[in-house]
Structure formats: structure tokens, C-alpha cells
Amino acid sequence: MINLPSIAILGTGSMGGAILSGLLAPGVTVDGGIRVTNRSERKAAALRSPSVTSLAIEKDRGANHAAVAGARVVLVAVKPHMVPDLLREISGAIDPGAIVVSVAAGVRIDTMQALVDVPVLRAMPNTPATVGRAVTGVSAGDRASDADVAVVTALFGTVGSVLEVPESRIDALSAISGSGPAYVFLLIEELERTAFKLGFTRQESRVMVENTFLGASELLAVSGETPAELRRRVTSPKGTTERAIEVLEEAGLSALFDRATDAAITRAQELAAP
């Protein structure tokens, strides 16, 4: 059983919504309730339930204020460029004993602590949070206590595993696990496209490729082997896989991943100082 204190989620889109699903999972209780906000009433209405007070800015300009008042945890999950204005808007309504946790890429703790009087922490989850399989990096600012870190760890523990990292590492973590699901989905898309080009139907391509990814992930999870060893077991000496892997390596796959993650880190730095 996980017990969490009252929480407000400001911006309940892909990421905020995934975290909300963790709060609503069996075995999790939130003392004092869950309040969430969005800009549009359409989105807010879809999230409303006996356990969730869901407010829309377009219906009530004071929605964020109302959500934050009395909350012990204020989770900020709007787009990075909106964070400073949002914090300015709510700073007067945040309880003195509350903490702010932001999942926004790039936006630094110092920047946020300059706008509110309470401790600020950053968290970088990923969308597998929706199915309870997130990896979340958590960084605490200098105002945060061990108890604050424990609350945030418990919060993100409802949607997967948590790693505490210094803030200096969070952009790199974001480039790996925050963005990582998109890299995996891109590979799946590409392999499905290739299967279709080789003459399989869309449906056949999907069955083959998606089950290959799911099966390989499951094998990695249960076998206790390294990915390198599992790859070796597929790659028969002088066989067909060896030929395919040679092509990927000759084309510079390793260098491409280095470049891609460097680009994500550079973008996070740009978001820090828009």
C-alpha cells in the first residue's frame, strides 16, 4: 500500500495523465485528494471522476489556483516554455509546506526556485508510466528535505522505478530514458515499414514486428542475460543476422545514437534558457 499526500497536477496531458493513472492504481491512496487542471474543458471532463477533481482553465481562469490551494505536492506537467508563467501565476496560492515537482524538460531548479518560495524538485519520467513501467529520474533542489525526496520517490514509484540523480545529469537521463520510448517506437515503425515493403500485409507486418519487440524485451527481462549475449545467440556465425548487423554497424549506428542523444541534451539546454 502506498500512501501519498494531497496532490495537484497542473497540465494533465500525456505525462501528467500517465502519472495520474499511477495515483488511481489499486494499492495507492492519496490523502486529501487529487486535483488536476488542463486548458480545455474537453480534456478536463474526460478526467473527472469521484476520485479526481478536474478543472479547466477555459471554464475557470482560477483553476490552477484552486487546484494548488491545500496541496502538499504541486506537480507541474505543462510544456517547458509555459513553466515560468505558470509558477508566477500560482506562487501566491502554494501552501508554505508544499513542494513543487516539475517534469518539464530543460527547465532548471534555480529558475523555478526564483519564482516560488517552496522547495522545487525535478523529475524526468517516461510514457511507459501509463502501464506502470516508467523509469523516472528525480533531482532535488537545495531547499528540499529528505522527506520531500521520499514523497516524490513514492509518487513516481506508483508508475515504475525511480533513480535519484544530481540535476547536472537529468538532461542526459532525459536523452536516454525520457526520450527512449520514442527511439524504440521509431525502430518498430521502421521495421514494420520494411516488412510491408517485403510484401507482407500491414497486419502481418504489425504482428511480426510488435511481437518481436515484446518477445525480445520479455526475454531480456526474464533471462538475466545481457543484451549483447542475447544478440550473440541470435547471430549464428556466418549466418543471416550477422550480415544484417554488419550493414547497421557499417552505416554508423553507434555514432548515430551518440549524435541523437547529444542533440536531445543540446535541446534541453536551449529549453533551459529560451
Ligand X SMILES: O=C(O)[C@@H]1CCC=N1
Annotated binding site for NADPH: 64
Binding mask 22-61 for ligand NDP (x = CB under 6 A): ---------------xxxx--x-------------x----
Give the per-residue SS3 of the chain. Answer: CEEECCEEEECCCHHHHHHHHHHCCCCEEECCCEEEEECCHHHHHHHCECCEEEEECCCCCCHHHHHHCCCCEEEECCCHHHHHHHHHHHHHHCCCCCEEEECCCCCCHHHHHCCCCCCEEEEECCHHHHHCCEEEEEEECCCCCHHHHHHHHHHHHCCEEEEECCHHHHHHHHHHHHCHHHHHHHHHHHHHHHHHHCCCCHHHHHHHHHHHHHHHHHHHHHHCCCHHHHHHHHCCCCCHHHHHHHHHHHCCHHHHHHHHHHHHHHHHHHHHCC
Size of residue set near ligand NDP by CB under 6 A: 28
Binding of residue 179 to ligand X (CB under 6 A): yes
Per CB under 6 A, which region of 2-10, 19-27, 39-47, 172-180 contacts ligand X?
Answer: 172-180
Binding of residue 10 to ligand NDP (CB under 6 A): yes
Binding of residue 11 to ligand NDP (CB under 6 A): yes
Binding of residue 170 to ligand NDP (CB under 6 A): no
Binding of residue 178 to ligand X (CB under 6 A): yes
Binding of residue 15 to ligand NDP (CB under 6 A): yes
Least gap, CB of 179 to ligand X (angstroms): 5
Least gap, CB of 158 to ligand NDP (angstroms): 16
Subset of 105-134 contacting ligand X (CB under 6 A): 105
Binding of residue 80 to ligand NDP (CB under 6 A): yes
| Closer residue to ligand X, CB minimum distance, 139 or 174 | 174
